[in-house]
Amino acid sequence: MIEQTTAEDSLQRQRAGSIYLCLYGHFYQPPRENPFTGILPIEPEAIPYANFNEKITAECYRPNAEIGNFSSISYDLGPTLAAWLEVAHPEVYRLIIDADRLHRARYGVGNALAQAYNHTILPLANTRDKETQILWGLLDFRHRYGHNAHGMWLAETAVDLECLDLLAQHGVTYTVLAPWQAATSIDPTEPYIVSLPSGRSIIVFFYNAPLSGGVSFDWNTTSNADLFAASYLAGHLVKSKQDTGEAQLLLIATDGELYGHHKPWRDKFLSHLITTGAPDYGFEVCTLERFLLLHPPTKEVELRVPSAWSCGHGVARWDTGCECTEGDSSWKGHLRQALNHLAERGNALFEQYAGESLSNPWAARNAYLALRNGWETPESFWTQYGKEHRLPEDAQLVQRTLLLLEAQYYLQYSFTSCGFFFEDLDRIEPRNDIAFARRAISLLWQALGIDLQQDFLRDLQSVQSGRTHVTGAALYRQLPIVKEGLLPPL
Ligand SMILES: [Zn+2]
């Protein structure tokens, strides 16, 4: 195999600099901590580790960080995962964050991207929630990496034009999409400009679907990095561009956990590919932002919207359900309706009561992440967002407003996309979304003594698993017991 490709190899080596390879890792896990205690449950399937966060850290985050892979790839580290890693494994966290700093020092641009905060399917969120998700993602990024993000990864690469416009409004210049999200013909070896109705624009990269799929799902594809570079990568280059020396980029985008967790030893495959395998075959390993610096896009594309990378039915997979998941997925629509009802009630109460102390409760919500995480002082927060432009003297009013803001925080969590991704309701991910909703109910109850639990349970009664026939209401009742007084009586 190696001998047969020698002539081709030398040709490719001569053209080094015009063919680029970018590996993209989306590092994220569904948040699973008990929202009342912040503690991750023991997960017996993760044995010998206490839970999957620990297992995946040992198999993927740590080895990839220690071997230096993060400094050569483009990546995003989900904010909710980053918050856990920062406390549980600060040395691993530091290596991942520092990779972006090293890349900036070397190339002038970073290689980390932000992520919309709660892994929410943005096309299914209202405008206000879209903006909060994007702003929290950017705020979180700025805090962790010490500079503004230029790229943002969207959960499931789910887009519509409104969320792209909000990204552009807030300084995000690029994102990554699946090739089938383009409505006009594309060559995925170059980025494109999307012109938005507002007159703004944003750049999109389309990943190489066969290569990304091969790396994700085909064991043989990634058993040997040299072979992968020699026989798989080369076959995806555009011949006419090779002939003229025009720059082209092969982008392989996958979940980051693939490298070591979903596939053992793939951290070493990745390392070998980016340090030796790809360069030996003429590829310059590059990150997205660096590629933009070298070769800014010149062509425009129109998009299919709404669309996502893991559903062929717009974003129905996370909405009403579709045949992307096996069996009866009608529970998805009912669960979303229950969560929407709860959020509508919670939002109205927030606007009414938080509006007594905050001049614009929604603007305050967008800044709340920094206050709750201690990145901003209460004095500074209240000076900017308080009606009186200072911390109110009425301690009870302050306390109530903080509870209402925290309820908003958990309402955002309750739309985590993972709850809608899989085939059935009777799984940990939908249960977690219900648990986050319960936390919001508790906070609203503590703030105002208003019971939103009853109506939520009624709505959850019509959410039913097609497999075990358990209802959403039953799942709610099975959630861990909390201290008396924290929830309305059942
Ligand atoms: Zn679908």
Each residue's pLDDT tens digit, 87-139: 999 999 999 999 999 999 999 999 999 999 999 999 999 999 999 999 999 99
In this structure, is the dihedral angle defined by the CA atoms of residues 208, 179, 200 and 368, taken in order, positive or negative? negative
Each residue's pLDDT tens digit, 445-467: 999 999 999 999 999 999 999 99
Q: Is a pLDDT exceeding 80 seen at residue 14?
A: no
User: Against a cut of 0.85, is the pTM above it?
Assistant: yes
Q: How far is the CA of 332 from the centre of ligand 1 (A)?
A: 12
The pLDDT of residue 13 is 45
The pLDDT of residue 57 is 97
Q: How far is the CA of 314 from the centre of ligand 1 (A)?
A: 7
Question: Average pLDDT for residues 305-309, to the nearest whole number?
Answer: 97
CA distance readout (Å), 489 to 232, 326, 346, 445? 61, 37, 18, 10
Contacts of 28 (CB under 8 A, 6+ apart): 76, 77, 78, 80, 81, 115, 119, 255, 256
Question: Average pLDDT for residues 17-40, to the nearest whole number?
Answer: 94
The pLDDT of residue 249 is 98
Each residue's pLDDT tens digit, 224-282: 888 888 888 989 999 999 999 999 999 999 999 999 887 778 899 999 999 999 999 99
Q: How far is the CA of 421 from the centre of ligand 1 (A)?
A: 10
Q: How far is the CA of 134 from the centre of ligand 1 (A)?
A: 24
Strand partners of residue 176? 205
Each residue's pLDDT tens digit, 479-488: 999 999 999 9
Q: How far is the CA of 216 from the centre of ligand 1 (A)?
A: 19
Q: How far is the CA of 317 from the centre of ligand 1 (A)?
A: 5
Each residue's pLDDT tens digit, 317-365: 999 999 999 999 999 999 999 999 999 999 999 999 999 999 999 999 9
Q: Which two tokens stand for residue 13?
A: 């080596």
Report yes or no: 249 and 296 within 8 Å, Cβ to Cβ. no
Query: β-strands 74-77, 112-115: how paired?
Result: parallel
Q: How far is the CA of 313 from the centre of ligand 1 (A)?
A: 4
Report yes or no: 319 and 158 within 8 Å, Cβ to Cβ. no
Q: How far is the CA of 414 from the centre of ligand 1 (A)?
A: 21
Residue 489: CB atoms within 10 A of its CB come to 8
Q: How far is the CA of 157 from the centre of ligand 1 (A)?
A: 14
Q: How far is the CA of 302 from the centre of ligand 1 (A)?
A: 21
Kindly state the percentage of the chain with pLDDT values over 70.
96
Q: How far is the CA of 479 from the centre of ligand 1 (A)?
A: 30
Q: How far is the CA of 129 from the centre of ligand 1 (A)?
A: 23
Q: Is a pLDDT exceeding 90 seen at residue 307?
A: yes
Q: Is a pLDDT exceeding 70 seen at residue 214?
A: yes
CA-to-CA distance for 122 and 131, rounded, in angstroms?
A: 9
Each residue's pLDDT tens digit, 140-193: 999 999 999 999 999 999 999 999 999 999 999 999 999 999 999 999 999 999
The model's confidence at residue 213, banded by pLDDT at 50, 70 and 90, is confident
The pLDDT of residue 86 is 98
Q: How far is the CA of 427 from the centre of ligand 1 (A)?
A: 19
DSSP SS3 for 361: helix
- Per-residue b/e over 302-334, b at no fewer than 16 CB within 10 Å? ebebbbbbebeebbbbbbbbbebbeeebebbbb
What is the full DSSP assignment across 158-213? -B-HHHHHHHHHTT--EEEE-GGGBSS---TTS-EEEE-TTS-EEEEEE--HHHHH
CA-to-CA distance for 100 and 27, rounded, in angstroms?
A: 14
CA-to-CA distance for 413 and 343, rounded, in angstroms?
A: 11
What is the full DSSP assignment across 93-155? HHHHHHHHHHHHHHHSS--EEEE-TT-B-GGGS-HHHHHHHHHHHHHHHHHHHSS--SBEEPG
Q: How far is the CA of 192 from the centre of ligand 1 (A)?
A: 25
Q: How far is the CA of 253 from the centre of ligand 1 (A)?
A: 20
Q: How far is the CA of 464 from the centre of ligand 1 (A)?
A: 20
Q: How far is the CA of 160 from the centre of ligand 1 (A)?
A: 16
The pLDDT of residue 262 is 77
Q: How far is the CA of 146 from the centre of ligand 1 (A)?
A: 38
Q: How far is the CA of 459 from the centre of ligand 1 (A)?
A: 24
Contacts of 77 (CB under 8 A, 6+ apart): 27, 28, 85, 96, 97, 112, 115, 144
- Per-residue b/e over 243-269, b at no fewer than 16 CB within 10 Å? eeeebbbbbbbbbbbbbbbbbeebbbb
Q: How far is the CA of 319 from the centre of ligand 1 (A)?
A: 10
Mean pLDDT of the chain: 94
DSSP SS3 for 303: strand
Q: How far is the CA of 310 from the centre of ligand 1 (A)?
A: 7
Q: How far is the CA of 324 from the centre of ligand 1 (A)?
A: 4
CA distance readout (Å), 315 to 37, 127, 178, 194, 338? 33, 16, 13, 20, 18
CA-to-CA distance for 167 and 134, rounded, in angstroms?
A: 7
Q: How far is the CA of 327 from the centre of ligand 1 (A)?
A: 13
Strand partners of residue 175? 204
Single out the residue of 272, 304, 259, 203 nearest to residue 21, CA to CA: 272
Q: How far is the CA of 323 from the centre of ligand 1 (A)?
A: 6
Q: How far is the CA of 316 from the centre of ligand 1 (A)?
A: 6
